[in-house]
Amino acid sequence: MKRRPVQFNDQDGPKDWPGAPEAADFLTRQLTARSLAPRTCLTYGRALKGFALWLQANAGWEGDWTALTARHLRDFVIERQRTHQRTSIHNQVSALRALLTDLRERGALKASPAAGLILPKLARNLPKFLTELQAETLLDQAPAPTSASPQLQARDQAILELLYGGGLRVAELCGLRGQDVTWATGLVRVLGKGNKERVVPVGEKALQALRTYFSHRGEPAAEEPLLLASRGGPLHPRAVQLMLKQKLRAAGLPEDLTPHKLRHACATHLLANGADLRLVQEQLGHASLSTTQIYTHLTVARLREVHRKAHPRA
């Protein structure tokens, strides 16, 4: 599918800045040839604009991306550490690396000046998630709003069951179509990051919640959204976030647990109950096993208990 060319506006500063046309061309290529997500494209664009404006102010840079040096990038990282979080610096440099790699692949650069760039180490924060008891409380005991219709109540239950049962990202959930559910096998086809498809089991509870929802709404056609907004039309991630906050409040659970925390809970509970790490990686759609391995730190208590019971020298 042909994408519209990327254009910068003045929402985050001037739209005409050094290197802007080349950056826009780069992002347009990323959208088309490499299926970069629109949200990632927006983040990259802001990062490149911020770097360009900083370099213009501090080094008199005029917008030639091929003239960047390792010193430019190193000074930028050093200065940013005084004002920005480390994760923000990593994200900004990621956009720069991608642009420089694109220039090198097209022959405009012989080597990327970011090749030897050293970034500040990131803290390895363990993700927050619901315990199994909290997940059960949310899914089975949280009262629905009295103003919600039976159809809306059934839809909200299906949303929670799919997020927790399948470990789906909220954007993946909102993008599901009628044809994506295979009822006979209990599998759901998901379009994840980078337009990569995967097929995941979601569990009988999720399938039953969908059947209940469809008994009110009617079963969707193949190309129709699987889940509808309260006024019809595709479901939006923000609506899912607000609904979850209401459910958490009603269940007496922390309201800062986002839909993504249900994904964390799915992964953690699978591993805690004996699932293979590689299979959990496939379930979540992680490109790297190291991303999935963070959840193993959350199951150490169970590992100790299994070792105590099973090892002859424990």
Residues noted as catalytic: 169, 193, 260, 263, 286, 295
Q: How far from the centroid of its chain's Cα atoms is residue 212's Cα?
A: 28
Secondary structure E strands in the chain: 181-182, 187-191, 197-201
Task: Please check whether residue 52 is in contact with residue 17, taking contact to mean a CB–CB distance below 8 angstroms.
Answer: yes
CA-CA-CA-CA torsion for 222, 188, 128, 280, nearest 10 degrees?
Answer: -160
Task: Give dist(CA 27, CA 44) in Å, integer.
Answer: 8
CA atoms within a 13 Å half-sphere pointing along the CA-CB vector of 35: 8
Which contacts (CB < 8 Å, 24+ apart) does range 284-287 have?
A: 284/167, 285/169, 285/190, 285/192, 285/193, 285/196, 285/198, 285/200, 287/193
Helix (H, G, I), strand (E, B) or coil at 192: coil
Contacts of 109 by beta carbon, 8 Å cutoff, 6+ apart: 66, 100, 103
Which residue in this structure is represented by tokens 């990632």? 40
What angle do the packed helices 132-140 and 150-166 form, to 10 degrees?
A: 160
Q: Which amino acid is at 131?
A: T
* Short-list 102, 129, 62, CA closest to 265: 129
Task: Provide the sign of the torsion angle of the four alpha carbons 47, 48, 50, 55, taken in this order.
Answer: positive
Q: What angle is formed at CA 98 by the lines to CA 198 and CA 72, rounded to 5 degrees?
A: 155
User: In the block, which residue shows the tokens 């409380």?
Assistant: 137
Measured on CA atoms in the order 111, 113, 114, 118, is the torsion positive or negative? positive
Q: What are phi and psi of 22, to 5 degrees?
A: -65, -40
